[in-house]
Amino acid sequence: MNSFENACQSILQLLEVWEPRLLSLHEETISKRRNSQNRSIRQILGHLYDSVSNNTHRIVHLQYRETPMTYPNYATNGNNDRWIAIQNYQHENWYNLVQLWKYANLHLVHVVRNVDDSRLDHQWISGEEDRLISLRQNIEGYLPHFELHLREIEALIDQE
C-alpha cells in the first residue's frame, strides 16, 4: 500500500458524500451565495477542478522532469480568480461541473496510487518567493486544500 492511501480513501469518501449533495442544491444556492472571496458555490467548485487539474499535472511532471523544475503556480497573484473568470464557471452547466470535479479527483487518486516513490523528493519552484515544494508535499497538501473549500461550500449551504 502506498503512503498516500489514507488521503486517497478520504478523497474517495468525500466524493461519495459530496456528489449527491452538490447535485441536490438549488440554482439560487449555487449561484447567488458568496464567500469572503466573493465566490459562488459554482466558482468554488470550478476552483477545485482547477486545483485537481493543476495538481495532477504537477504530480506527473515531477516524476520525469529534472528537479527542481519550473512549473506555473496558477494560484498566485490572483491568477486563480482569472482562471475562474476566463472559464466562466458561474455559467457552467452544474451537472457537468460536478461530474468534471468528481472524475478529475477519481483520476488524481489513481495517479497518486501509482506515484514512483523514488521521485517523492523531486521539487518544483513555486511562484511564492521561489519556494521549493516536493512531490511528497504537493500530494500531502492536496487533501487539506480540498477540505478547506468543501468547508466553504458547507458554510454557504448553511446560510439562511
Q: What are 70-124's pLDDT values in tens digits?
A: 887 777 767 889 999 999 999 999 999 999 999 999 999 999 999 999 999 999 9
CA dihedral defined by 46, 49, 53, 55, rounded to 10 degrees? Answer: 110
Alpha-carbon gap, residue 160 to 150, rounded angstroms: 18
Domain tally, the chain = 1
pLDDT tens by residue, 141-155: 999 999 999 999 999
pLDDT of residue 10: 98
pLDDT tens by residue, 12-62: 999 999 999 999 999 999 999 888 889 999 999 999 999 999 999 999 999
Alpha-carbon gap, residue 47 to 42, rounded angstroms: 9
CA-closest candidate to residue 2, choices 108, 116, 143? 116
Residue 132, strand partner residues: 125
The domain that contains 152 carries what CATH number?
1.20.120.450
Under a CB-based contact definition with an 8 Å cutoff, are residues 68 and 132 in contact? Answer: yes
Q: Does 160 have pLDDT greater than 60?
A: no
pTM for the structure as a whole: 0.94
Domain region containing 139: 5-158
